[in-house]
């Protein structure tokens, strides 16, 4: 009885605190008293219950109380809140009494899972999360509307958590672990619990701490971050030296931690081990007899597929016939483009029937207008195209083959381009080699030429030349080619060639072991270069639509593909519940042209199945969110994501109004009583403030990682300051010092570039290319690797129309991206100048945005820290709120 009275008193106190804190003149002393009271977990729980209950009552009762004619000025809101708080306390007390009297089985029932000794079990929960129970394990699942709670009473379990509106909590041995979209393992022992983080982040606290003591594993105000991700953030690509101590320290890790030291030591030990076993997507072997009588055969991960246990080198040794069929995303893109041409323009093409040697295509290639084009969209290719100036198909064959690690390492690029430009005479080592090297101006570029040189100059037999070809085609590095050095040089000297020629020629052959192309392979790729260039040149809207539907592939993300298409005059339309399909499609633009309509596939979190249902159930149109909910059969989460992508704009709803209306739906499915349209409860009207352009752009990136509105850099110009626009670089003189700023859209660190990094920055006028030398990279490592918006100062380097900025100073301005979501708070969890975290900015009569209440004295740093901690507990420290994810929204594609 005493406990019930204490609980009732605690709820009454919580209700009074709630009413007190809504006043317009809350003093710092009151805040301090409240925070001291809330430190008790039982008090905090009572306050959250009151807060949740008032969220329901406030939609009706509060508005009536505030507008009542008898309300005194200055006291109406507080009086109404006191009345509501009292009502909330009564409701909660009544609910508690009913809970003790309800019948067994009423409400959500707990589900208990257990495994015997030696048994394992995988359980898929209603939200898609998966729990794998280890041997001799027992746990209980309690899902409610507000949280997903798991009680692990004994044993060990692996948790793979799906995102949801409710927190995912695991209680075990006196601790509570909170996770949002992560994977972790918990082992509950008699007197302790171990939590192993696999990916993501979790927060481990004590669920029943002793008074005056921190609970086991608690880190106040912090979260247990993914140490693997922190270490990986300091490494670019692969290396053989492990992770240096200074890199671990830069990641914020404690070098004194014994576990970290052991991890770093073990990491160095396993470098060079096989990382995984992989299956060639289109590889198969052919034998004269039964395959299973020659080698072990096992089931592959994919259904109805089998693999042999030997690798490609094993079967080469024993002479089994192996065939590899390459799968290329560009083949899918070209097929989709041909289908669109046939459907919308009545043109029937194939790779064999495209108009050959089109001058307009080569003109486009000569100016490196090749974003999205197969093989020639990389920085190296785009820099080389204006120097190469291809004018025929065989030029494309050479273009594909020459920008490869093999020719680059073999020093073949510069001699070829100088001879092509007639800056250097074309010479051949001997008349016998002129037929071998004639097509490539005396420079060996293809594997077939390497074999012929070995035969003609060094006297190799056909068998020896084929063995050399195999060594050149392997990925073992130059070591396997080195075995032919003595034989090759001796043969060249014997046939009258000097030592310089023999060593130079063999060095070029060694370069091929770093990936050189056969001529036939280069010709096949060149055909795809020409086909994709032709489609982009003559039908840019078709190319854009097909390329988006073939993602992920290539160097550029959809945001850059769309930006490039719009620069070529293509009209791109946003996602729309009434007009979009799963794939991006073409539709008439009204002026006789075709526009690209973005599909549901562009929205993060919408599955292909849900996208198809949204389109299939549309019929003659939905005309309302309620109709979509009732007819499409998709959950409220899908509708929320569609609303967040501004997909209901055609109904006259703003993004905020659409999200509000979706939140007002009764649940994932209509109740049987209100299955027909128009028979549900009327939606509560909203009076939400209009979003600014900056907020709209930010939410576009949250939903789709692209925007059809203004470019983020243009919106941030007042904060960024002066810099040279990308469009202005083409007119800037060589070797001038300039400053460029932009979103980092690609990072490249080719293995042939001796540690040089190439950045591509995008502003609202175009892209600029940045070179980062190794010394500069070490100085600005964090800015280069982690920056999403960077400012680079350096010297302009120009060769014809090709320009680069050789960086000298790099600044990370990524923090400015946070301000797009809320221009007032600059990305902070809570604005220290406003003690109400939910205070909404509304337009003032002058049209400017300002607070609804008068400015107040800023809270102390201690109070602000406590408020931020409380908000982190609510949203999680993994950056669950979209505004905390700004830097992750503007992602780049990195290559090394």
Full DSSP string of 162-186? PP-SS-EEEEETTEEEEESS-EEEE
Decide: 738 and 793 in contact? Cβ < 8 Å.
yes
Residue of 97, 546, 477 lying closest to 336 (CA atoms): 546
Task: Report pLDDT digits (tens) over 576-614.
Answer: 999 999 999 999 988 889 999 999 999 998 989 999 999
Task: Report pLDDT digits (tens) over 121-145.
Answer: 888 888 888 898 888 888 989 888 8
Both tokens assigned to 73: 């000025």
pLDDT of residue 838: 38
Task: Report pLDDT digits (tens) over 686-702.
Answer: 677 888 898 899 899 98
pLDDT of residue 445: 84
pLDDT of residue 846: 37
Q: Strand, helix or coil at 274?
A: coil
pLDDT of residue 224: 41
Judging by DSSP bridges, how do beta strands 138-143 and 168-172 pair with one another?
unpaired
**68-84 b/e (C-beta count within 10 Å ≥ 16 → b):** eeeeeeeeebeebbbeb
pLDDT of residue 372: 93
Both tokens assigned to 571: 């009209």
The predicted model gives 85-110 an average pLDDT of 47
Residue of 16, 55, 15, 17 lying closest to 35 (CA atoms): 17
pLDDT of residue 263: 79
Task: Report pLDDT digits (tens) over 721-737.
Answer: 899 999 898 888 888 89
Q: Where are the beta strands (DSSP E) in 258-411?
A: 283-286, 297-299, 306-308, 321-324
Tell me the C-alpha distance between 506 and 485, whole Å: 7
Q: Across-strand partners of 321?
A: 286
Query: For 600, left (φ over 0), alpha (ψ -120 to 50), or beta?
Result: alpha
- pLDDT grade for 742, boundaries at 50, 70 and 90: very high
Provide the 8-state DSSP code for 678: T
Residue of 689, 666, 692, 690 lying closest to 679 (CA atoms): 666
pLDDT of residue 599: 95
pLDDT of residue 504: 80
Average pLDDT, the chain: 76
* Peptide bond preceding 552 in cis form (omega within 30 of 0): yes
Say which residues have a Cβ less than 8 Å from residue 451's Cβ, sequence separation at least 6: 460, 465, 466, 468, 469
pLDDT of residue 217: 40
> How far out from the chain centre does Cα 73 lie?
52
pLDDT winner (highest mean) among 103-117, 259-273, 345-359, 455-469: 345-359
- pLDDT grade for 615, boundaries at 50, 70 and 90: very high
Residue of 194, 200, 201 lying closest to 217 (CA atoms): 194
pLDDT of residue 64: 39
Residue of 135, 125, 147 lying closest to 49 (CA atoms): 147
pLDDT of residue 56: 41
pLDDT of residue 180: 60
Tell me the C-alpha distance between 322 and 337, whole Å: 32
Per cent of the chain over pLDDT 70 is: 72
pLDDT of residue 837: 35
Residue of 670, 612, 602, 684 lying closest to 636 (CA atoms): 670
Listed range (166-170, 530-534, 866-870) with the worst mean pLDDT: 866-870
pLDDT at 529 over 70: yes
**CA dihedral for 712, 717, 718, 723, sign (positive or negative):** positive
- pLDDT grade for 21, boundaries at 50, 70 and 90: low
- Torsion, Cα 757 763 768 772, to 10 degrees, reads -20
pLDDT of residue 41: 76
3-state secondary structure string, 528-557? HHHHHHHHHHHCHHHHHHHHHHCCCCCCCC
Tell me the C-alpha distance between 654 and 631, whole Å: 22
In the block, residue with structure tokens 């030029």: 395
pLDDT of residue 352: 92
- pLDDT grade for 751, boundaries at 50, 70 and 90: low
pLDDT of residue 486: 84
Q: 23 versus 597: which is more confidently predicted?
A: 597
Decide: 234 and 253 in contact? Cβ < 8 Å.
no
Decide: 390 and 366 in contact? Cβ < 8 Å.
yes
Listed range (106-115, 681-690, 761-770, 785-794) with the worst mean pLDDT: 681-690
> How far out from the chain centre does Cα 238 lie?
20
pLDDT at 226 over 60: no
Both tokens assigned to 608: 């292909």
pLDDT of residue 391: 92
3-state secondary structure string, 91-150? HHHHHHHHHHHCCCCCCCCCEEEECCCCCCEEEECCCCCEEEECCCCEEEEEECCCCEEE
Decide: 615 and 583 in contact? Cβ < 8 Å.
no
Judging by DSSP bridges, how do beta strands 175-179 and 168-172 pair with one another?
antiparallel
In the block, residue with structure tokens 């998709």: 634
Tell me the C-alpha distance between 245 and 248, whole Å: 5
Say which residues have a Cβ less than 8 Å from residue 760's Cβ, sequence separation at least 6: 379, 744, 745, 746, 747, 767, 768, 769, 770
pLDDT at 271 over 90: no
Tell me the C-alpha distance between 741 and 721, whole Å: 10
Decide: 182 and 856 in contact? Cβ < 8 Å.
no
Both tokens assigned to 471: 């060594």
Question: Residue 275 burial (CB < 10 Å; 0-12/13-18/19+)?
Answer: exposed
pLDDT at 473 over 70: no
pLDDT of residue 894: 72
Decide: 791 and 720 in contact? Cβ < 8 Å.
yes
Q: Please work out, in degrees rounded to the nearest 5, the angle formed at the alpha carbon of residue 31 by the alpha carbons of 27 and 32.
A: 115
In the block, residue with structure tokens 């309690």: 142
In the block, residue with structure tokens 């009297």: 101
Task: Report pLDDT digits (tens) over 486-528.
Answer: 888 888 898 888 888 888 888 777 766 656 678 888 999 999 9
pLDDT of residue 845: 37
pLDDT of residue 70: 38
Task: Report pLDDT digits (tens) over 57-76.
Answer: 444 333 333 333 333 333 44
Question: Residue 443 burial (CB < 10 Å; 0-12/13-18/19+)?
Answer: buried
Say which residues have a Cβ less than 8 Å from residue 365's Cβ, sequence separation at least 6: 373, 376, 385, 390, 396, 533
The predicted model gives 79-90 an average pLDDT of 51
Say which residues have a Cβ less than 8 Å from residue 405's Cβ, sequence separation at least 6: 511, 514, 515, 516, 750, 751, 752
Entry field: residues in the chain: 896
Both tokens assigned to 508: 């070029």
Q: 833 versus 652: which is more confidently predicted?
A: 652
In the block, residue with structure tokens 């740093």: 861
Decide: 892 and 747 in contact? Cβ < 8 Å.
yes
Q: 506 versus 331: which is more confidently predicted?
A: 331
pLDDT of residue 571: 96
Listed range (392-406, 586-600, 667-681, 685-699) with the worst mean pLDDT: 667-681
pLDDT of residue 671: 55
pLDDT at 95 over 50: no
- pLDDT grade for 684, boundaries at 50, 70 and 90: low
Within a 10 A sphere around the Cβ of 176, how many other Cβ atoms? 18
pLDDT of residue 603: 93
**CA dihedral for 40, 42, 43, 48, sign (positive or negative):** positive
Q: Across-strand partners of 714?
A: none
pLDDT of residue 541: 96
Q: Please work out, in degrees rounded to the nearest 5, the angle formed at the alpha carbon of residue 233 by the alpha carbons of 231 and 239.
A: 75
Judging by DSSP bridges, how do beta strands 842-843 and 283-286 pair with one another?
unpaired
Residue 475 sits at φ, ψ, to 5 deg, of: -105, 25
The predicted model gives 197-213 an average pLDDT of 58
pLDDT of residue 810: 92
pLDDT of residue 251: 67
């Amino acid at each position: 009885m005493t406990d019930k009275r204490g609980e009732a008193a605690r709820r009454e106190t919580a209700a009074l605190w709630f009413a007190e804190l809504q006043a317009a003149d809350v003093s710092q002393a009151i805040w301090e008293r409240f925070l001291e009271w809330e430190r008790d977990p039982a008090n905090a729980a009572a306050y959250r219950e009151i807060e949740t209950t008032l969220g329901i009552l406030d939609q009706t009762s509060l508005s009536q109380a505030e507008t009542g004619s008898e309300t005194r000025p200055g006291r109406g809101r507080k009086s109404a809140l006191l009345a509501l708080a009292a009502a909330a306390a009564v409701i909660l007390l009544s609910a508690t009494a009913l809970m003790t009297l309800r019948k067994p089985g009423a409400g959500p029932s707990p589900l208990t899972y257990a495994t015997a000794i030696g048994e394992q079990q995988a359980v898929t929960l209603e939200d898609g999360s998966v729990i794998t129970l280890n041997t001799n394990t027992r746990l209980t699942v309690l899902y409610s509307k507000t949280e997903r709670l798991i009680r692990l009473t004994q044993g060990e379990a692996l948790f793979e958590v799906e995102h949801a509106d409710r927190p995912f909590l695991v209680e075990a041995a006196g601790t509570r672990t909170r996770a949002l979209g992560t994977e972790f393992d918990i082992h509950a022992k008699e007197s302790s619990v171990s939590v192993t983080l696999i990916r993501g982040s979790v927060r481990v606290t004590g669920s029943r701490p002793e008074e005056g003591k921190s609970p086991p594993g608690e880190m106040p105000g912090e979260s247990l971050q993914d140490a693997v991700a922190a270490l990986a953030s300091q490494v670019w690509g692969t290396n053989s030296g492990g992770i240096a101590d200074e890199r671990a320290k830069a990641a914020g890790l404690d070098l004194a931690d014994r576990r970290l030291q052991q991890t770093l030591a073990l990491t160095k030990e396993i470098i060079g081990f096989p990382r995984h076993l992989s299956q060639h997507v289109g590889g198969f072997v052919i034998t004269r007899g039964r395959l299973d009588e020659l080698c072990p055969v096992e089931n592959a991960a994919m259904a109805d597929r089998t693999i042999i246990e030997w690798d490609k080198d094993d079967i080469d040794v024993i002479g089994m016939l192996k065939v590899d069929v390459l799968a290329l995303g560009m083949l899918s893109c070209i097929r989709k483009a041909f289908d669109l041409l046939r459907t919308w323009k009545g043109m029937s093409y194939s790779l064999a029937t495209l108009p050959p040697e089109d001058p307009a295509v080569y003109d486009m290639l000569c100016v490196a207008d090749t974003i999205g084009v197969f093989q020639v969209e990389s920085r190296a290719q785009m820099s080389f195209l204006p120097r190469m100036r291809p004018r025929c198909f065989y030029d494309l064959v050479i273009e594909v083959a020459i920008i490869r690690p093999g020719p680059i390492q073999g020093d073949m690029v510069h001699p070829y381009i100088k001879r092509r430009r007639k800056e250097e005479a074309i010479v051949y080592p001997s008349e016998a080699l002129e037929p071998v090297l004639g097509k490539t101006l005396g420079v060996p570029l293809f594997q077939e030429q390497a074999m012929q040189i070995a035969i003609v100059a060094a006297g190799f037999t056909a068998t020896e030349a084929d063995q050399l070809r195999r060594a050149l085609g392997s990925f073992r590095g130059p070591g396997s080619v080195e075995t032919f050095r003595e034989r090759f040089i001796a043969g060249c000297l014997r046939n009258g060639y000097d030592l310089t020629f023999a060593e130079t020629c063999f060095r070029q052959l060694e370069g091929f072991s770093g990936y050189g192309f056969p001529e036939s392979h280069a010709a096949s790729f060149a055909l795809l270069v020409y086909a994709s260039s032709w489609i982009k040149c003559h039908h840019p809207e078709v190319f854009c639509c097909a390329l988006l539907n073939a993602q992920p592939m290539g160097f550029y993300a959809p945001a850059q593909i769309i930006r490039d298409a719009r620069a070529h005059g293509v009209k791109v339309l946003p996602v729309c519940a009434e007009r979009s399909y799963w794939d991006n499609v073409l539709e008439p633009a009204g002026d006789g042209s075709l526009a690209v309509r973005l599909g549901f596939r562009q929205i993060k979190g919408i599955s292909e199945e849900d996208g198809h249902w949204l389109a299939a159930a549309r019929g003659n149109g939905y005309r309302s969110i309620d109709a979509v909910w009732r007819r499409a059969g998709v959950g409220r989460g899908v509708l929320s994501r569609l609303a967040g992508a501004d997909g209901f704009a055609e109904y006259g709803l703003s993004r905020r109004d659409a999200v509000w209306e979706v939140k007002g739906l009764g649940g994932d499915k209509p109740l049987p009583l209100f299955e027909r349209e128009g028979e549900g409860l009327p939606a509560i009207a909203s009076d939400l403030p209009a979003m600014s352009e900056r907020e709209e752009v930010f939410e576009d990136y949250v939903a789709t990682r692209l925007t059809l509105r203004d470019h983020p850099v243009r919106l941030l110009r007042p904060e960024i300051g002066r810099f040279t626009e990308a469009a202005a670089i083409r007119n800037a003189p060589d070797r001038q010092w300039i400053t460029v700023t932009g979103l980092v859209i690609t990072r490249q660190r080719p293995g042939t570039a001796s540690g040089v990094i190439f950045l591509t920055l995008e502003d609202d006028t175009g892209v600029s290319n940045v070179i980062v030398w190794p010394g500069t990279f070490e100085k600005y490592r964090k800015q280069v690797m982690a920056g999403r918006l960077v400012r680079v100062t350096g010297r302009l380097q120009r060769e014809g129309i090709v320009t680069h900025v050789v960086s000298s100073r790099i600044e990370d301005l990524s923090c400015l991206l946070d301000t797009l979501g809320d221009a007032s708070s600059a990305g902070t969890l809570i604005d220290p100048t406003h003690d109400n975290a939910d205070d909404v900015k509304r337009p003032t009569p002058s049209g400017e945005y300002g607070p609804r209440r008068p400015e107040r004295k800023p809270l102390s740093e201690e109070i602000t820290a406590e408020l931020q901690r409380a908000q982190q507990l609510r949203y999680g420290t993994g950056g669950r709120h979209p505004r905390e994810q700004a830097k992750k929204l503007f992602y780049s594609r990195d290559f090394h």
